Structure 1
Amino acid sequence: MAPASSIKFIDTALSCTSPYALSYPDPKQKWLIRKHLLSLIQDYPIFTPSTDTFTHNDGTSVNLLNATGNLRVSRYTPPIPLTIWVHENYPYMPPLVFVLVNSMTPIHRDHPFVDLSGSTSSPYLQTWLFPRCNLTNLVRKLVKIFTHDHPFIYNSPVAGFSHPSLVSRMEALDRLSGMLHYDMMAFLAKNEEEVENLSKLQEELIKRDTITRNMISSLEQERSSLKDNVTKLTDEADVVMNWLRVNDANSVAVGRDEMEEAFEAADEESKLKIECLSGDRAIEDLIYALDKAVEEGTVPFDAYIKQVRALAREQFYSRAMLVELAKGRHLFSWSA
């Protein structure tokens, strides 16, 4: 049986006809509200009825009944200060449930059924349907929800779940909603991290793209500059060639024989030195060519040895002649 004081308060509030009367115009609705509130207080004496002005999200203000109390779901967890507002269209609209927030016991972030402001929701409220649903069953569902997922941050072991076969369909739906909520929050957190990483990568790619475009632009400018220089040098070369054709045609037409005459020896001794040096270098080149031919197998080894001996003898005479010419003597004749 509900306390007499609570019964008297509810009856007085519902029968009030002053300007401050509650926003429940239908007598049948008032009777159902009285019945459900008294049933709630009888099963959960912790709740105390009261009236106050409630402001909806759209700014509409109404005078409503509410029940406030500290709901304890377990002896290991702190009590939950709860306020249940009876909607002006109750029982066809679900009640409005709020957890009172305080600094000593803050609500933990990402709770599946309670946001940081204390506004509470659950599958039971979301699927509210009269006459199946009422205030007493709502509190029973909240007790089960908060037993497994307490809204406050505190240091205590988390209660374990009972076997799925031992819970009701609605309780299983509550647990499933909670697990889906946490999975969704984990998924969103992972997605936010991936988006942040992709944003950083995008910024890096944009930076690299800018650097690459600047490099390409610089190379294009350099290429254009080089083309201009080539054109300028070509024009200058044409000018020089035209000048040479006009002013020094004989120099341009110098043949190979005339070029060789430019290195003609001044005397017999110099001529002999040039011939000895050229002969020595020619023999060196020939011996090198013979070495390669032997390696490739195109010249027999016997023929190679015979030829190298003859070339070495001739090279010896050339080098000896160079030594004597350097000393200023002439011990060997070129014919030797």
Structure 2
Amino acid sequence: MKESNCILIAELGATNARIALTRDGTTLIESKEYLLTDFSTVDYLFEAYFEEIKQKATRGIIGVAAPVLGEEVRFTNNNIMFNQRTLKDKIFSKGLKVINDLELQAYALEDLGDEEVLRIGEIEEEKKGSKVLISPGSGLGLAGIVDKQIIFTEGGHLNIPPDSQDINEILKKFKQDRGRNPTFEDLMSGKGVNYIYKCFSNSKNSGYSNEEILVNKVDSDCFKTRKLMLYLLATYAKYIALIWGATSGVYFSGSIVNSLLQPEELESFRADFENSSTMQELLVTIPIFLIKDLNLGLRGGLVLALRD
């Protein structure tokens, strides 16, 4: 197998792995997607990728669905773990950078064109301040951007405060089922879509995929699930925007939010985000953006590769 001078860019979420190469830091080639459950280790994943494309990269930029605190990396929502030093010695001998997956995605924000984002609301002027990127998936990712510095967080693990009757009933049931209060990640995620639907339908098995639940406009329990998910997303975004002072914008990425935020939902979503008895004057000035590109992590990797 030939060795190339390309840099490998990979976004390893809790469920899926997106991998590509770049030669120049501006374009992606050999893009592939894999299910992480098909591989027992990340070593086997990268070896399978190299085997498929018939070339090998010895430099890598990898975003992982985990906090990166040292050499040992342990994913939050699956059983994957690896040692950075071992992976570098075995595969990426000429250089390896491992960061949080939302941190990787956040590097792409500076490079997005107007046609790649949907502005939610009529807020045109963007004040100088921080930005936040929120991405529900298998978990709930959150990254902040302050003066172009990317800061990863585990903010999805904040507990959900009691609110409307629908939420209260689900919070009580979750605590009965799991023995603890739910976090935003428990409900604002793929597993949360399924859990909320089963609560509304009083069933053990939904019979629908998460995407089917979110786009089904006939089944009343799907409709209620969608409405509650939108409300939770607006509420979470409001809290995060206030905590971070995100006056330069709240950005959403990923397939779940692209399914949720349909044109007919945008006005009510914006209203729920701005609803506050004390901070509405600030919230109405904060722009909100939906990012359409589902390969945001690979785009962020290009930014880092160009800096190499």
TM-score (norm 2): 0.24
Greater fraction of residues in strand: 2
Larger CA Rg, structure 1 vs 2: 1
Scaled by the length of structure 1, the TM-score of the pair is 0.22
Bigger helix share: 1
